[in-house]
Amino acid sequence: MDLRDSPEEAAFRAELRAWLAEQVPRHREDASPGAWTKALHAAGYTGLTWPAAYGGRGLAPTYQGIYAEESALAEAPDHVNVIGLGMVGPTIVSHGTPEQQQRFLEPILSGEYVFCQGFSEPDAGSDLAAVRTRAVATADGWLVSGEKVWSSYAHQADWCLLLARTQPGSTRHAGLTCLLVDMRSPGVQVLPLRQTTGDSDFNQIVLTDVPVPRDCVLGPVGEGWRIAMTTLAHERGTFGITLTARLAVEFDRLLRTVHDLGLADDPGVRAEVADLHVQLQGLRWTGQRTMAALASTGKPGPESSILKLHWSVTNQRLAAFALRLLGPAAVLDGPGSRAAGHWQHLRLRSRANSIEGGTSEILRGIIAERVLGLPRTR
Amino acid sequence: MDFALTDEQRDLQAAAARLLADRYPADRVAGMADAAAGDPDAWPLLRRQGWCDPDLGMVEMGLLAQEGGYALAATPWWSTVGLAHPVHRAAGLAVPPGPLTLAWQDDPAGGGCRAVRHRDGWRLTGVRALVTDATAAAALLVAADTDAGVALFAVPSPADGLTVEPQPTLDRLRGAARLRFADTPGELLVAPDAAGRALADARRHGSTLLACEAVGVARRALDLACRHAGDRVQFGRPIGAYQAVAHRLADSYVALELATSLALRACWLLGAAGNAADTTGSAANGPEVERAYAEAVVTGRRAAVRACEDALQVTGGLGATWEYPLHWWYRRALWLDCFDTPTTTHLATLADHLLAARPGPS
């Protein structure tokens, strides 16, 4: 056990931090999709944990953790290819054919191919096995029809990792297949979903007889559930560390707001600030324990299931507290309001934290069944 | 960065868990608590097992404290190793072989303790209260006021002019005693120039281990609740299959994991600070250690109380009886929740640090 960076990790962190300090302000203005991925790639910060044979650097997960933490702390641009690098790429490494690995991995690393994910549907949210999007076999592949929702970056994506039902009449986990769908295929329509904040971070994808060639099936036909679970397991890897570091950024912003409002001596404010800090520290160090388990066993330990759950609770608590600090001025919004409406926005946005990426109810169910060994709750 | 236990640390924890599970099954714990009696034979056993070795690391001690809380082992180990041994180390003395405790708190009913130098040594007069494991201790380390400030003394027990009065307590397995001194001879261990620091260090050392003990208490309560939730059938299903029960226990587990992380981290930092102080004469990360300790204590206390209260709810009518042993862990959780520095003071310490200056722009 050693809770300090090793000399190699410290050097990596220092170099990355310096690079981010220089590059992040430069890229904040440049919103073109893939620009940040390309900059990261040129500097050698993509595919840190990918095997060298696939163009990665073959580093331990600890380095991915440092990258996730420092990027979030530096408020680096949200990474348009985060799904490709973090989830789809590793799935292709595990389950792709040599031809698919040849075709997709290098463009994912370089930012040439931006990926989105097509899993959730209007009637398949928490219950993902209820997927209804169907793929009908043709002479040279599949024709896909259906509707996917809550797909991040779909409007900017070149490719989609899609979960579809390939076996007619099948139900639940059987008969599903993962497909690599070219987003420029005929029959693909992307529509933005507008959230309570007014922003559109997610999309709906409508597929109408979209042709998918046979060589774009990822993994065996009918094994889509297992492949999709691999993809989602990769999401859990270092995402908790990213979320915690983003929360740390919000916490610093909260401290500035407390000072700006002249509330730093208010006993109630001091108690809540200290308490939020304790929650943040719990998340941070539990994230490091998760990382250690990932490094030694190759998969996140049971601690990892709590990170997203407790992050959402804490982020919501912080957002609610920050907005209350503004007093009656909290009713104002827009650029002229306190902190340019940041806390108003976060208050609204944070309510989705306990929904996106696994609802808190689903996560508690996972903990109860898989960690605590309780009987199934449904 | 490697926040994982080593194989040796895992083995140590597993061996401790086995030893305590054999020696302190829940019915024996309940029996000892009913009689408000500790285990008089535990001390030689723990010494043989190496629980008092001076070269035991802080993380290792934290793991033993966790298992002590899990088993609710009624031994004077924590008072001795957690509170008293750091005083001996501060004094540059080898630790004596017997069980010890540290007495520094004033009597809530009023009264402190003074030491006066006589021709033949120091004499103590007055009261110390809320002293843990005092009846088991072969010697008492006592903080007493002198003309030059507080100093730390060793008083063998029994001794002329010393009365040890056990006080009825909520947690009968960690009793409290009032000590009355009447011109009682004491040996000066730490002089006033260093005693304030030594006492604060000892309390921090002890409380960091209590944060670990709290983790063990929480884990045991959660285990009891999960076992019951799997066994108890109502409306034709085990109650753990109902989300209202399962989700409550999942949230208890979250609190436990956060507390585990922060308790282990506090131990590691305290151990690293001690090693740095041994080699360089000063701990470079003092403020970080201080905050980590506060964070660990706050989360540990909450996890323990919460896990016990969640378990009391889930175990229903059974958990509400005297015979079901859960309330002994709850009583320990309540003791942990209020022993020494209050949670509000720990949070105030953290707020002082966090709000000392406005952070710069991001």
Residues of chain B with CATH 2.40.110.10: 100-190
> Is B354 in contact with A274 (Cβ distance < 8 A)?
yes
Q: Are residues A50 and A126 in the same domain?
A: no
Instruction: Give residue B355's identity as a one-letter amino acid code.
Output: L
Residue A10 has pLDDT above 70, yes or no: yes
Residue A31 has pLDDT above 70, yes or no: no
CATH number assigned to the domain comprising residue A179 = 2.40.110.10
Distance of CA A81 to the CA centre of its chain: 10
CA A241, A245, A247, A248 dihedral sign is positive
Phi, psi of A176 (to 5 degrees): -100, 150
Distance of CA B169 to the CA centre of its chain: 16
Q: Are residues A93 and A173 in the same domain?
A: no
Minimum Cα–Cα distance from B295: chain A residue: A278
> Is A283 in contact with B3 (Cβ distance < 8 A)?
no
Q: Does A298 touch chain B (CB under 8 A)?
A: no
Q: In total, how many domains does chain A have?
A: 3
Residues above pLDDT 70, as percent of chain B: 98
Q: Are residues A288 and A201 in the same domain?
A: no
Residue A168 falls inside a structural domain: yes
Residue A199 falls inside a structural domain: yes
Q: CB-based contacts of A243: which residues, under 8 Å, 6+ apart?
A: A72, A283, A307, A308, A311, A315
Distance in angstroms (rounded) separating the CA atoms of residues B110 and B114: 14
Q: CB-based contacts of B5: which residues, under 8 Å, 6+ apart?
A: A1, B13, B59, B63
Q: Which domain holds residue A183?
A: 115-222
Chain A residues touching B269 at Cβ < 8 A = 3
Catalytic residue check, A356: no
Among the partner residues A1, A252, A365, nearest to B268 by beta-carbon distance: A1
- What are the structure tokens assigned to A64, written together? 């991915």
pLDDT of residue A148: 98
> Is A285 in contact with B261 (Cβ distance < 8 A)?
yes
pTM: 0.96
Residue A354 falls inside a structural domain: yes
> Is B242 in contact with A377 (Cβ distance < 8 A)?
yes
> Is B240 in contact with A252 (Cβ distance < 8 A)?
no
B84/chain A closest Cα distance in angstroms: 26
Q: CB-based contacts of B123: which residues, under 8 Å, 6+ apart?
A: B115, B116, B161, B183, B184, B185, B186
Residue A259 has pLDDT above 80, yes or no: yes
pLDDT of residue B245: 98
> Is A270 in contact with B348 (Cβ distance < 8 A)?
yes
Q: Are residues A12 and A119 in the same domain?
A: no
Q: Are residues A147 and A88 in the same domain?
A: no
pLDDT of residue B66: 98
Distance of CA B277 to the CA centre of its chain: 23
Residue A192 falls inside a structural domain: yes
Residues of chain B with CATH 1.20.140.10: 196-354
CATH number assigned to the domain comprising residue A61 = 1.10.540.10
Question: Which CATH superfamily, name and number, covers B196-354?
Answer: Butyryl-CoA Dehydrogenase, subunit A, domain 3 (1.20.140.10)
> Is A281 in contact with B262 (Cβ distance < 8 A)?
yes
Among the partner residues A2, A274, A283, nearest to B1 by beta-carbon distance: A2
Q: CB-based contacts of B207: which residues, under 8 Å, 6+ apart?
A: B293, B297, B339, B340, B341
* Domain-ending residue, one of A72, A95, A110: A110
Among the partner residues A62, A278, A293, nearest to B299 by beta-carbon distance: A278
> Is B250 in contact with A259 (Cβ distance < 8 A)?
no
Least confident of B186-195, B263-272, B353-362: B353-362
Q: Which residue has the higher pLDDT, A201 or A80?
A: A201
- What are the structure tokens assigned to B361, written together? 């722009």
Give the ranges where B281-315 is alpha helix by DSSP (H): 286-314
Q: Are residues A148 and A103 in the same domain?
A: no
pLDDT of residue A33: 64
Residue A1 falls inside a structural domain: no
Q: What is the pLDDT of residues A192-243, one digit of tens each?
A: 999 999 999 899 999 999 999 999 999 999 999 999 998 888 777 778 899 9
- What are the structure tokens assigned to A1, written together? 């056990």
Minimum Cα–Cα distance from B244: chain A residue: A377
Question: Are B99 and B82 contacting, i.e. CB atoms less than 8 angstroms apart?
Answer: no
DSSP B162-221: EEEEEE--SSTTS-EEEEEEEEEEEEEEE-HHHHHHHHHHHHHHHHHHHHHHHHHHHHHH
Question: Are B181 and B162 contacting, i.e. CB atoms less than 8 angstroms apart?
Answer: yes
Confidence of residue B279 (pLDDT cuts 50, 70, 90): low
Among the partner residues B230, B261, B351, nearest to A282 by beta-carbon distance: B261
Q: What mean pLDDT is predicted for residues B34-57?
A: 91
Q: Does A72 touch chain B (CB under 8 A)?
A: no
Q: What mean pLDDT is predicted for residues A144-151?
A: 97
Pick the CATH number of B100-190 from 1.10.275.10, 2.40.110.10, 3.40.50.11540, 3.40.50.800: 2.40.110.10
Among the partner residues A256, A271, A288, nearest to B351 by beta-carbon distance: A271
A255/chain B closest Cα distance in angstroms: 7
Question: Are B15 and B60 contacting, i.e. CB atoms less than 8 angstroms apart?
Answer: no
- Using a 10 angstrom Cβ sphere, with 0-12 exposed, 13-18 middle and 19 or more buried, the burial of residue B11 is exposed
Which listed residue (A75, A235, A356, A369) is catalytic? A235
Residue A2 falls inside a structural domain: no
Q: What is the pLDDT of residues A110-135, one digit of tens each?
A: 989 999 999 999 999 999 999 999 99
Q: CB-based contacts of A144: which residues, under 8 Å, 6+ apart?
A: A133, A134, A135, A136, A162, A164, A179, A181, A187, A207, A209, A210, A211, A212
Give the CA dihedral B19, B22, B27, B28, nearest 10 degrees. -60
Residue A170 falls inside a structural domain: yes
Which A positions 216-255 lie with beta carbon below 8 A of chain B?
Answer: 249, 252-253, 255
Q: Three-state DSSP class for A205?
A: strand
Question: Are A143 and A135 contacting, i.e. CB atoms less than 8 angstroms apart?
Answer: yes
A336/chain B closest Cα distance in angstroms: 18
Distance in angstroms (rounded) separating the CA atoms of residues A231 and A92: 9
Distance in angstroms (rounded) separating the CA atoms of residues B348 and B361: 25
Q: Are residues A176 and A233 in the same domain?
A: no
Distance in angstroms (rounded) separating the CA atoms of residues A143 and A135: 5
Question: Are A279 and A314 contacting, i.e. CB atoms less than 8 angstroms apart?
Answer: yes
Which A positions 85-114 lie with beta carbon below 8 A of chain B?
Answer: none
* Domain-ending residue, one of A91, A110, A129: A110
Residue A82 has pLDDT above 70, yes or no: yes
Among the partner residues A5, A296, A377, nearest to B246 by beta-carbon distance: A377
Q: CB-based contacts of B152: which residues, under 8 Å, 6+ apart?
A: B87, B91, B141, B142, B143, B144, B188, B189, B190, B195, B198, B199
> Is A4 in contact with B6 (Cβ distance < 8 A)?
no
- What are the structure tokens assigned to B43, written together? 């001390």
Chain A residues touching B351 at Cβ < 8 A = 270-271, 273-274
Q: How far is CA A312 from CA A11, A109, A152, A169, in A?
A: 32, 30, 19, 38
Phi, psi of B142 (to 5 degrees): -125, 130
Confidence of residue B270 (pLDDT cuts 50, 70, 90): very high
Which A positions 129-168 lie with beta carbon below 8 A of chain B?
Answer: none
Distance of CA B310 to the CA centre of its chain: 22
Comparing C-alpha atoms, which of B229, B258, B277 is closest to residue B58? B277
> Is B358 in contact with A289 (Cβ distance < 8 A)?
no
Q: CB-based contacts of B89: which residues, under 8 Å, 6+ apart?
A: B95
Q: Are residues A276 and A148 in the same domain?
A: no
Residue A378 falls inside a structural domain: no
**ipTM of this predicted structure:** 0.96
Confidence of residue B172 (pLDDT cuts 50, 70, 90): very high
pLDDT of residue A302: 66
Minimum Cα–Cα distance from A378: chain B residue: B241
Q: Does A177 touch chain B (CB under 8 A)?
A: no
CATH number assigned to the domain comprising residue A276 = 1.20.140.10
Half-sphere exposure of B114 (CA within 13 A, CB side): 7
> Is A361 in contact with B299 (Cβ distance < 8 A)?
no
Residues above pLDDT 90, as percent of chain A: 82
Residue B322 has pLDDT above 90, yes or no: yes
Q: Are residues A196 and A239 in the same domain?
A: no
Q: What mean pLDDT is predicted for residues A344-369?
A: 95
Distance in angstroms (rounded) separating the CA atoms of residues A271 and B301: 16
> Is A310 in contact with B4 (Cβ distance < 8 A)?
no
Q: Are residues A84 and A189 in the same domain?
A: no
Chain A residues touching B272 at Cβ < 8 A = 3
Distance in angstroms (rounded) separating the CA atoms of residues A46 and B115: 67
Q: Pick the residue of A364, A366, A378 with the most B CBs within 10 A to test the interface with B by mutation.
A: A364
Q: Are residues A176 and A76 in the same domain?
A: no
* Domain-ending residue, one of A86, A110, A134: A110
Q: Does A312 touch chain B (CB under 8 A)?
A: no
The number of beta carbons lying within 10 Å of the beta carbon of residue A308 is 22
DSSP B156-176: ESS-TTEEEEEE--SSTTS-E
Mean pLDDT over each residue of chain B, to the nearest integer = 95
Q: How far is CA A55 from CA A48, A89, A103, A227, in A?
A: 9, 11, 12, 22
Question: Are A316 and A276 contacting, i.e. CB atoms less than 8 angstroms apart?
Answer: no
Q: CB-based contacts of A143: which residues, under 8 Å, 6+ apart?
A: A135, A136, A209, A210, A211, A212
Minimum Cα–Cα distance from B247: chain A residue: A364
Q: Are residues A231 and A367 in the same domain?
A: yes
Chain A and chain B share a number of CB contacts under 8 A equal to 166
